[in-house]
Structure 1
Amino acid sequence: MKKGSHTTIIKRGGKKAHHGVHTGAWKVAFADFTLAMMALFMVLWIVGAVSKEERQEIVANLNGTSIFDGTVFSPISDPAAIAGPAPIMTSLPVQAAEANESAEQEASQPESLENVLSRSDRELNELGEAIARITAELNAQGNLSLEKVPQGLRILLQDDDDRVMFERGSAQMTPFFTRLLSELAPVFNRIDNKVIINGHTDAANYRDNAGYNNWNLSGDRALAARTVLAKGGLEAKRVLQVNAMADRMLLDPKNPLSARNRRIEIMVLTQSASDTLYQFYGRNGVKVVKPIAERLQ
């Protein structure tokens, strides 16, 4: 070998197995699958969003038939249809849109006082019927009574000869009345009316030097009723007031110790009664509520 010359070395390696060529076909298949799923969800959404009549109209348009007379129509099959203006047909979706627009216009206009009072009275009647059904199911007719008054619906829960709502001098509600109030609680959420809960006692007095009296007892019982209603599902915003009445408003004044005087009263107020109460105290501390007659004009 001459000095300064270079030697070329060739290294032969073993042949390696070749894997299949990745052409990306799986991406196309996945895209087709995704598109098909999206189309399926769109179809399901459209089926759920439109009414039965609207679906029939859509199918009729796709098949080239009319749901009104069962005849076949095609807007371009008749040359005369091209020459002249096409007849105007009001479809069901258009009718629905016009009805929605009319409803929105009516909603934007102030509701009359007569309509408000009529609607409120109807809702209170429906509420009374629902409460009466629950009372009958629990056989509590002797413990619950309903009365329509100008301010709304008055619900009285009280003792009878067989059941007591609270033990004497206690604010712990008994199991039967706890169940009764729990069953009634969701019913009050069906309407927007506010609720006042009043606690009443009989005229039995504590000792003069007692630190606890009928004011405390009636207030604690009213709060206990509110707690049971809240646990049963009554929305917190429904309750406007919780009052302690002590023995100031006896149902049976000739028998001041009668069980009829020991009661919880739930007042479901009309809208006008709620507005009047807000006028006394103001909404959030500010007297901003106008009388309902002025507000609706």
Structure 2
Amino acid sequence: MSAGSNAPTIIKRKKVIAGGGHHGGAWKVAYADFVTAMMAFFMLMWLLNATTEQQRKGIADYFSPTIPINRVSGGGSGAFGGDNIFTEETLAQSGTGVSQPTLGMNPVQSEEEAAAEAAQVAALRDIEAMLMGQGGESMLSDQALRHIITRLTDEGLVIEIYDLPDVTLFVDDTVVPNPVTAEIAAIMARLFAAVRNDVAIEGHLRAKSLLEVDNPVWELSTGRAAQMRLMLQSGGLDPMRIVRQSGAGDREPVVRDATAPRNNRIEVILLRSDI
């Protein structure tokens, strides 16, 4: 270019960047999410290893979405509220009206009836506790306690006295009681004197081979029930309180093996007063 030219002079400057420069903080967020996910994963693995099946089900139920729905339409203005003819204050016939079902309780009853019902159940439980030594020493020997289980039903307090493989209630296939049976009967008669409930007695037997010609299960089960009645009366129980005596033969086994000695038993039922 000549010295006298009027063309502009262009100066090109090259920008030099040292290092990689700043690319923003998005990678930090992604890394934090990754660490959080890994922590949650390891916590999940630890929980699966450290909890029981029941606890895991409880945790799963906690996170399961639930929607409250009434099985029977209500009578109120709210979405889920209000009373209807099926509530426990009225008929409770649908099975949804009773909030907490109670053993033998009538869903429609006055406060006085409910109090009397509760008192009766409490009295039966007291008899059960004294017989079995719950919370204290039993009136029965340890050997006698091995033959007894109890349960409270709508009918009353059922005291089940049964054979053990090494000790039977009666001598062979007779109605002659062994000493342990007499001991149990005497103690029951004493305990029953504390209440006024009626008493029912049922005899049961184990099944035997069909090849046995002489198998008088009905007579024997009825005879053993009668023997228990006589022993209770000898112990001081009012005969008028015994309202039922029956023998079920071998028709009502309590274990799957109908021939098991466990099915040889006497059931003495302290009946509820409303039965």
Q: 1:203 to 1:209 in 2, by over 3 A?
A: closer
1:229 aligns with 2:209: no
Distance 2:122 2:258 in 1: 36
Using the TM superposition, name which of 160-169 and 183-192 deviates more: 160-169
The runs of at least 4 aligned residues of structure 1 exceeding 2 Å deviation read 133-137, 205-210
> What corresponds to 2:272 in structure 1?
270
1:158-197, Cα deviation, whole Å (9 max, x unpaired):
1113321013321111112112211221211211111100
1:2-28, Cα deviation, whole Å (9 max, x unpaired):
xxxxxxxxxxxxxxxxxxxxxxxxxxx
SS at match of 1:272: coil
Deviation at 1:260, TM superposition (A): 1.0
Distance 1:185 1:220 in 2: 19
1:155 aligns with 2:166: no
Q: 1:233 to 1:249 in 2, by over 3 A?
A: same
Deviation at 1:244, TM superposition (A): 0.7
Deviation at 1:205, TM superposition (A): 5.4
Distance 1:168 1:209 in 2: 17
What TM-score results when the alignment is normalised by the length of structure 2? 0.55
Distance 1:255 1:126 in 2: 33
Contact 2:140-2:184 at 8 Å conserved across structures: no
> What corresponds to 1:257 in structure 2?
259
Q: Which amino acid aligns with 2:248?
A: M
Contact 2:185-2:232 at 8 Å conserved across structures: yes
Contact 1:128-1:153 at 8 Å conserved across structures: yes
Aligned mate of 2:246, from 233, 243, 246: 243
1:146 aligns with 2:150: yes
Distance 1:161 1:208 in 2: 21
Give the number of equivalent residue pairs.
162
Distance 1:116 1:247 in 2: 37
Distance 2:253 2:138 in 1: 24
What TM-score results when the alignment is normalised by the length of structure 1? 0.51
Distance 1:269 1:137 in 2: 22
Query: Unpaired runs of 5+ in structure 1?
Result: 1-109, 274-297
Deviation at 1:214, TM superposition (A): 0.4
> What corresponds to 1:52 in structure 2?
none
Matches within 5 A, 1:173-192: 173-192=177-196
Distance 2:213 2:257 in 1: 25
Distance 2:211 2:228 in 1: 26
Q: Which amino acid aligns with 1:121?
A: V
Query: Unpaired runs of 5+ in structure 2?
Result: 1-109
Distance 1:224 1:199 in 2: 10
Instruction: Compare the two structures and name the one with the higher helix fraction.
Output: 1
Distance 2:178 2:171 in 1: 8
SS at match of 2:202: strand
Deviation at 1:130, TM superposition (A): 1.5
Percentage of matched positions with identical amino acids: 23
> What corresponds to 1:126 in structure 2?
126
Distance 2:233 2:210 in 1: 30
Q: 1:165 to 1:206 in 2, by over 3 A?
A: farther
> What corresponds to 1:198 in structure 2?
202
Q: Which amino acid aligns with 1:261?
A: N
Q: Which amino acid aligns with 2:243?
A: L
Q: Which amino acid aligns with 1:120?
A: Q
Contact 1:146-1:153 at 8 Å conserved across structures: yes
Contact 2:139-2:187 at 8 Å conserved across structures: no
